[in-house]
């Protein structure tokens, strides 16, 4: 029940706030912050932006803080309210960290609440399939 309330709250906040500009395409969208602290400051200004969470996750990953990076990649997936909300980048981050099973589990939870937004559900399913394939490859025989 709390999960449903959290999802509804995030969706309501996204609808009530002015639309964000789309993330730029190309190299600028894949850039990382200059430091972990700079990314943390950006996220503190807008903690609901999944793109900022992915950038912070990448900075943490580069700094060798894998568990914190995975936490931010999962947060980006949870905060995704539209298909261009960095779902693929967050899933890629979890797979790079070797957490494909965790990626699948997180995407399954989000898929359960995304069926009313078809484009978001398609993006989540696509990312889930990639994570599931990576989990199969990494599983011992």
Query: Which mean pLDDT values do the consecutive 10-residue runs of the chain (141 residues) have?
Result: 44 40 36 78 90 92 92 93 84 93 93 87 93 88 64
DSSP 104: H
Whole-number pLDDT of residue 101: 92
- In angstroms, the CA 18 to CA 65 distance is 33
First to last CA, the chain: 37
Whole-number pLDDT of residue 75: 93
CATH architecture of 31-138: Alpha Horseshoe (1.25)
Whole-number pLDDT of residue 32: 56
DSSP character string of 43-100: HHH-TT-HHHHHHHHHHHHHTT-HHHHHHHHHHHHHH--STTSSHHHHHHHHHHTT-H
């Amino acid at each position: 029940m709390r999960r449903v309330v959290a999802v509804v709250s995030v969706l309501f906040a996204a609808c009530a706030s002015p639309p964000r500009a789309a993330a730029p395409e190309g190299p600028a969208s894949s850039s990382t912050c200059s430091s972990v602290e700079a990314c943390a400051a950006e996220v503190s200004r807008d903690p609901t932006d999944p793109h900022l969470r992915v950038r912070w996750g990448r900075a943490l990953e580069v700094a060798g803080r894998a568990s914190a990076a995975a936490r931010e990649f999962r947060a980006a997936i949870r905060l995704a309210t539209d298909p261009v909300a960095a779902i693929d980048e967050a899933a890629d981050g979890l797979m790079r960290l070797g957490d494909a099973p965790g990626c699948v589990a997180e995407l399954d939870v989000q898929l359960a609440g995304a069926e009313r937004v078809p484009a978001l559900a398609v993006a989540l399913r696509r990312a889930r399939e990639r994570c599931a394939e990576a989990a199969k490859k990494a599983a011992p025989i």
